[in-house]
Amino acid sequence: MSRILVTGGTGYIGSHTVVELIQAGYQVTIVDNLSNSNIDVLQGIEQITGVKPDFENVDCLDYKNFNAVFDRFPDIEGVIHFAASKAVGESVEKPLMYYRNNLGSLVNLLDIMNQHKVKNIVFSSSCTVYGQPDAEHLPVDETAPRKTALSPYGNTKQINEDIICDQAHAQKDLNAVILRYFNPIGAHPSALIGELPNGVPNNLLPFVTQTAAGIREKLRVFGNDYNTPDGSCIRDYIYVVDLAKAHVKAIDRMLNENGRDQVEVFNLGTGRGLSVLEIIRGFEQATGVKLNYEIVGRREGDIEQVWAKADKANNVLGWKADTPLDAILLSAWQWQQRLS
């Protein structure tokens, strides 16, 4: 049984991925400093899978202790690197924290992997690297140009991609898969793990479910005067469990398939763009709960519309995000009900 190290494995996407890895037969070691997650997530993972993953409460910036994890688990064959700070607004307020955390963690990781002869890394990137694609690049595929980042957070994703490419150039036995996520939403169907937003949510879905639960009075829809069919912004919302499964496919491919490129990039999205108002209607239909919302002005820095061309992941990874929207939205609501 191959062992995979998952940094940030108690976080939102990380925990769902750990579940899928275990269910696919992998052994998992989680490294997480719990800076934006809760230790109880481990129980949820165990309840779903029947297996408690090995857990190391270590900060990836702490070279000595991070390195010691690799000493303790000499059978690690691949790493999935989720651990990062991820709030766009916070990154504008605290750029140094973002550059230190997000760049330093990856540099430490690649260095330690090289020393321990661990040759496979899957990296969590984001569709934020595309910025607002030009009309001829929508839906956006992996060959679309990256745009200047709008936030330090977005910039760290671009620089991290570059660090991986530069290291792969220098270290020919390093294999990397860069996964560019679109907008992950929803929770595990068991409602035992899900997203745990810190304070007032920035992202749409946690705000929707908290409003439905009465924790927030009103959802604000940021703008209805965009150049889109209903005037609200369009995103590619992807079910977090589908997203998690793509990581298993990426690891399977790295461990078992020959003839890969040394660094491969995949968009992970559904290929379907949905507006904010469509999400609201979809949520009301899926759950039967009416949402209190109002249209307000645009949010600074928002991209008007972006959705994925996911053909490469479909064809090369043999993966497709195919969970119906109502099931996804219902899972988010069931998780919220469990939390509140």
Closest CA to 22 of 2, 37, 43: 2
Closest CA to 128 of 68, 84, 166, 79: 84
180 binds ligand UFG (CB under 6 A): no
Is position 98 annotated as part of the catalytic site? Answer: no
126 binds ligand UFG (CB under 6 A): yes
Q: Least Å distance between CB 279 and ligand UFG?
A: 8
Distance between CA atoms of residues 255 and 48, nearest Å: 25
Please name the amino acid found at residue 175. N
222 binds ligand UFG (CB under 6 A): yes
Helical residues (DSSP H) of the chain, grouped into ranges: 12-23, 41-49, 63-72, 88-93, 95-98, 104-115, 152-170, 204-212, 240-256, 276-287, 311-312, 325-339
> Can you tell me which of 16, 81, 86, 253 binds ligand UFG, judged by CB under 6 A?
86
Q: Is 53 or 152 the residue whose CB approaches ligand UFG more closely? A: 152
Distance between CA atoms of residues 259 and 303, nearest Å: 36
> Can you tell me which of 76, 113, 204, 321 binds ligand UFG, judged by CB under 6 A?
204
Distance between CA atoms of residues 15 and 30, nearest Å: 9
Asked if residues 150 and 91 have their Cβ atoms less than 8 Å apart, the reply is no
281 binds ligand UFG (CB under 6 A): no
> Can you tell me which of 188, 235, 249, 309 binds ligand UFG, judged by CB under 6 A?
235
> Can you tell me which of 74, 299, 326, 338 binds ligand UFG, judged by CB under 6 A?
299
Taking CB under 6 A as the binding criterion, the range among 6-14, 19-27, 94-102, 120-128 that sits at the site for ligand UFG is 120-128
Q: List the structure tokens of 24.
A: 């696919």
> Can you tell me which of 88, 140, 317, 330 binds ligand UFG, judged by CB under 6 A?
88
> Can you tell me which of 3, 116, 220, 312 binds ligand UFG, judged by CB under 6 A?
220
Taking CB under 6 A as the binding criterion, the range among 29-37, 107-115, 200-208, 256-264 that sits at the site for ligand UFG is 200-208
* Total residues in contact with ligand UFG, by rule CB under 6 A: 20
233 binds ligand UFG (CB under 6 A): yes
**Per-residue contact flags (x/-) with ligand UFG for residues 143 to 162, judged by CB under 6 A:** -----------x--------
Q: Provide the CB-side half-sphere exposure for 67 (13 A, CA).
A: 10
DSSP 135: G
Please name the amino acid found at residue 191. A
Please enumerate in sequence order all residues whose Cβ is within 8 A of that of 186, keeping only pairs 6 or more positions apart, or say none.
194, 205, 239, 240, 241, 323, 328, 329, 331, 332, 335
Closest CA to 206 of 247, 233, 237, 232: 237
Q: Residues 130, 153, 237, 239: which is the catalytic one?
A: 153
What pairs with residue 320 in β-bridges? none
Taking CB under 6 A as the binding criterion, the range among 66-74, 100-108, 116-124, 219-227 that sits at the site for ligand UFG is 219-227
Active centre residues (catalytic): 153
- Residues in contact with ligand UFG by the rule CB under 6 A: 86, 88, 126-128, 154, 183, 202-204, 207, 219-222, 233, 235, 276, 299, 302
